[in-house]
Amino acid sequence: MVVGRTGLGKSTLINTLFAAHLIDSKASKKSSDPPRQTTEIINSVTLIEENGINLKLTITDTPGYGDQVNNERCWEPIVKFVKEQYSSYLRKELTPARERRINDTRVHCILFFIAPTGHSLAPLDIAVMRKLSENSNVIPVIAKSDSLTPEERLNFKKRIKEEIEFHGIRLYPLIDTEEDYNEADRIEKQLAQQIRDTIPFAIVGSEMNVVVDGKTVRGRKTRAGIINVENEQHCEFVHLRNFLMRTHLHDMIETTASVHYENFRTKQLLALKESNGIKNTSANGNDTG
């Protein structure tokens, strides 16, 4: 899922990440288009293949988020959607005659786009990140980070990390308090820490090609020079891609299932028990109300 205000390059980043034009920008095309009154949820499902491995990718776009003059509760449709997927999974899980492989529509990862102001997080960002991180894996990224000089980027990241910690927002990867059983665990922990240090990823996206040193790469040709999306000196796109796709894709799915979904399930079943206790009827596990 991608969450962020209009014009932060969400669609472009997704298309850059998966090296294919998967989604279109949902920005308004004409002046006469009426502005969105609420956050919409738009899903698209794509099947992609790399080296014989098939991936069914569902992208949830959230146009309208943060775009209105009054953005109170603009996050509600998003949280509702995330919970609905858990709900539907739970229902299927509890069915006596359930499918062998339940179609998993749960949101495994939410990319949260932060505007590159260079100052600090907006009040809306803080409120929404907190709400979302209670329900799913949230990975904050600094959008259009080519607007920041290296020094500004460093300060901005530091500031964002301070605020995230101050407000108690728990991001992915979650801190693992288990013991180190062996070298592999320790290495994994180190890697997780490294990632936590890099977050938020300062990214630049592009579907356009530019020529750098005779090679054609994806990038942007601005008036200052040519930005190469894959150049680690220019932005952290490569880090994000490695993290999301190469190393932690499976772990995110697992964490969604074992942590976030389980939390949801526990809360639901407890609430169910209480309400059944009050109603004094025999427990009927199919009703998740």
Partner 1 sequence: MPDISSIPVVKKALNGYVGFHNLPNQVHKKSVKKGFQFTLMVVGESGLGKSTLVNTLFNASLYPNKENREPTLDSPKTVEIQTISADIEENGVKLKLNVIDTPGFGDFVNNEESWKPILENIESRYDSYLEQESRVNRKKLVDTRVHACIYFIAPTGHSLKPLDIEFMKRLAHCVNLIPVIAKSDTLTEDEISAFKSRIMEDIAFHKISIYQPLTYENDDPETLQEHKDIVSKIPFAVVGSDREVDSNGTKVRGRKYPWGVINVDDESHCDFVKLRQMLVRTHMEELKEHTIEVLYETYRAKKLIASGLTETIHSTANPLSRFEDERAAHEQKMSKMEAEMKAVFQQKVAEKESKLKASEDE
Q: Which residues are at the interface with partner 1 (CB under 8 A)?
A: 5-8, 25, 27-28, 30-32, 35, 67-72, 115-120, 122-124, 127, 144, 146-147, 149-150, 155, 159, 162-163, 166-167, 220-228, 231, 233-234
Q: What's the closest the beta carbon of residue 232 comes to partner 1, in angstroms?
A: 10
Question: Residue 41, CB half-sphere, CA atoms under 13 Å: how many?
Answer: 14
Q: Which stretches within 242-280 are classed as H helix?
A: 249-255, 262-279
**Residue 127 or 272: which CB sits closer to partner 1?**
127
Give yes or no for a contact between 39 and 75, defined as CB atoms under 8 angstroms apart.
yes
Give yes or no for a contact between 205 and 12, defined as CB atoms under 8 angstroms apart.
yes
CA distance 3 to 231: 25
**Residue 123 or 289: which CB sits closer to partner 1?**
123
Q: What's the closest the beta carbon of residue 10 comes to partner 1, in angstroms?
A: 11
Give yes or no for a contact between 169 and 35, defined as CB atoms under 8 angstroms apart.
no
Q: What's the closest the beta carbon of residue 135 comes to partner 1, in angstroms?
A: 19
Q: What's the closest the beta carbon of residue 13 comes to partner 1, in angstroms?
A: 14
Q: What's the closest the beta carbon of residue 82 comes to partner 1, in angstroms?
A: 20
**Residue 12 or 268: which CB sits closer to partner 1?**
12
**Residue 233 or 282: which CB sits closer to partner 1?**
233
Nearest to 128 by CA among 196, 40, 201, 66: 66
CA distance 252 to 109: 7
**Residue 106 or 218: which CB sits closer to partner 1?**
218
